[in-house]
Amino acid sequence: MRTEMRDIGVEDGTTMETYLALPDAPNGKAILVIQEIFGVNPHIRSVTDRYARE
């Protein structure tokens, strides 16, 4: 699995941190998590990784 943090532009001209998880075998699918109130913390990344592996 490949993961990375990415900043994406938002409407007000600022950026928002996101977390991207891609499965090992390319299948055209990915999971992108956008910051929640507490940020993209280790728990949220671990849940995202689990979904991407499945």
Domain coordinates in residue numbering, the chain = 2-53
- How many C-beta atoms surround the C-beta of residue 43 within 10 A? 9
What global pTM score does this model have?
Answer: 0.70
Collapsed DSSP state (helix, strand, coil) of residue 42: helix
Q: Does the pLDDT of residue 51 top 90, yes or no?
A: no
- Backbone φ, ψ for residue 13 (5° rounding): 90, -5
How would residue 29 be classed by pLDDT, with cut points 50, 70 and 90?
confident
Collapsed DSSP state (helix, strand, coil) of residue 29: coil
Collapsed DSSP state (helix, strand, coil) of residue 18: strand
Q: Is 18 exposed, middle or buried (0-12, 13-18, 19+ CB in 10 A)?
A: middle
Q: Does the pLDDT of residue 13 top 80, yes or no?
A: yes
